[in-house]
Structure 1
Amino acid sequence: MKTSVAIIGAGPSGLLLGQLLTLAGIDNVILERQTPEYVLRRIRAGVLEQGTVDLLREAQVGARMDREGLVHEGVELAFHGRRVRIDLKALTGGKTVMVYGQTEVTRDLMHAREQSGATSLYQVDQVELHDVDSETPSVTYTTDGKRHRIECDYIAGCDGFHGVARKTIPAHVLKAYERVYPFGWLGILSDTRPINHELIYAHHPDGFALCSQRSNTRSRYYLQVPLTEQVEAWSDDRFWQALERRLPDHLGDRLETGPSLEKSIAPLRSFVVEPMQYGRMFLVGDAAHIVPPTGAKGLNLAASDVNTLYRILCKVYREGRTDLLGRYSDAALSRVWKAERFSWFMTSLLHEFPDNDAFSRRMQETERDYFTTSEAGLKTIAENYVGLPYATIE
């Protein structure tokens, strides 16, 4: 088989890149080791930056999102019993965020892929990338017990943190930066009315809490917990009681509880590798970087990578601008590190760190006070939350 771009991974980043390339007339093939049903079962982010929303519309997969998604013009921080609303729209010149689950984004992209007739191969094993530093890269894989090869011009590694794409880059070329946080997020999904019409990020001496949502009738809540915690130890009742304690009194009184649809614990880490390309292979999304979810940047950062790579490839195929290929890593990493900084900042601002001394705790309190009482501080949070501008490819 021959194609222009081989895309490894059928998560939202791989599907979005494939959709944009297909619309641009650039043929591509997507390889995924799991089943479509498995991919759709992943419960992930639900806050889309303005840029991500615009990119999904450009990819012609935004119709259901625009019908069912919830536009949020603000977000709240809560601590010491007080609530501070950050007016995203007013502070950023009209930008907002959209609450629309990653599962639904993936579903829309899968449907568009099926409608386009473009090739997606699921349940493939033993994927290997070959000659990625040459002009003739290829991908081999096994399905139904048979070995197959795809010859291509370029490879997009959209296969996540545990995928094969990053491992293809020689160890002496790749540099990794990592911070592992001493806690995780216990998350619960429930068919209950959200406690508030906008997201609330709360700090409490017991730990961080987040009140989020997927719709007007489905809520997503999180609690900071030690890494030693086991999800089996958390009954629904225990979760709801802990959440209510961490919220201001007037909020806790409005909390609607109910059976959990899904419950899990996710560790928090910051992770970046440089460079994000090697030869004709480009890393996209979680294959190159992980952010703690406090800044709502995971899926959005993957979308910005997709945007950068897509625009470069369009100029390569339409204008012969192969000189732009070498710019991908630097252009993507510029935005990646800014999002990493914001996610680290929000995590540091709102969580309880077990090893913090008295000075560190007072500095954390002062940071919260400054950023919620200064117009400059509020604007800094707002412009990062709605998403910084994408890289310009010229």
Structure 2
Amino acid sequence: MSLLPALTGSYGDAPDAVRIGDDALSFEDLAAAGAAVARRIAGARAAAVTATSTVETVVAVLGGLAAGVPIVPVPPDSGPAERDHILRDSGAEVVLDTLDRHDRADWTDPAATDRPNLILYTSGTTGRPKGVPITGAAIAACLDGLADAWDWTADDRLVHALPLYHVHGLVLGVLGALRTGSRLHHTGRPRPDLLAAAKGSLYFAVPTIWHRVAADPAAARALRKARLLVSGSAALPAGVFSALEDLTGQAPVERYGMTETLITVATRADGERQPGAVGRPIEGVETRLVDDHGNPTAHDGVTPGALEIRGATVFAGYLGQPDATRQSFTESGWFRTGDVATIDPTGLHRIVGRASTDLIKTGGYRVGAGEIEDALLTHPDVREAAVVGRPDDDLGQRIVAYVVADEVAADTLVRHVATTLSAHKRPREVVFVSELPRNALGKVQKHRL
């Protein structure tokens, strides 16, 4: 099965089929440049590229796919120690930081097989980043499932400004376009005016970017002609969801995934859109919730459980780390995501957060940090909020809220939460900060709090 049919002419072509910033190439030119890179790196164990938001990064990735050489995208802002770890751990024998995109060769489209095509690295919040081999078969399963869920076709024009070293920006945002045949416009920088000027039909962004779009009414209203706005990589605040719906005329859709599983759960284009809901499993993916003892958790939309996933998009194991791999899978092959979720009787998923930081056990209750954050964000003076559990001799854990807000008293916010949620879910402590620590995709780094 062909992995990237757009590069073989299956969906026609255009001089600007793929545009990144002010740079554009046709599908044909992109394929020829990628084939030249494939010729250069043939036989290498792996090849790395500093994954800047450029056409050259795309060409390097395509070269690896065509050569059957796993590509290792390195974040451009990696420190020397992290970069050295990624290069050594992946076994990269070539670093494609200098290439001539005008070189040409004959393109051979790779097949979607069980051979690793990419080695992506986890964020490393619980240790050194781990290598995650991603196969062509997993990529194809993920993209085909999303194409079905989002009615994603060659008639679309995909617009985004996401980093090209993560699943969202690289797999969905680049390879997705080359699999579905949609035209791609990466705006280079995540500025609302640039996103609006791109005039896409399909937009991918993270909550930080959507927040900026919602704060720029003119740019947001320019997206009224788009048919689908997709948010992912972190929870979209309910206030941003509502603002986008008011300004663009449509509610965004959310989805869920991670490096190890690619995207597994998504709100369909024709499905019900609710703040905080990430939809239902795509085709070929199964999900389940379990409690602390591995027993099934009720799908009642209220009871949180540890989310486990099995299916065609899930990786086989961490690179060179058999112990970590063994700990991450159950005996029956379910991947332990480390996330906590609820599932309602219709199969609708909501992500509560990470089990390590977002499932708070206080006074005998299991409380999800996400619902408290959403409650805080409904207060008009609160701009950002992050909730964690802190050790407490009496409660086990006490609920602590870190808040970016205008002038408002802590006890006012505590009472505000108590008016919408159960009393045991109110913060016991409110800490005001000037900003929340976030990574490149806008996820709050709670371990830094």
TM range (shorter): under 0.3
* TM norm structure 2: 0.23
Higher helix proportion: 1
* TM norm structure 1: 0.26
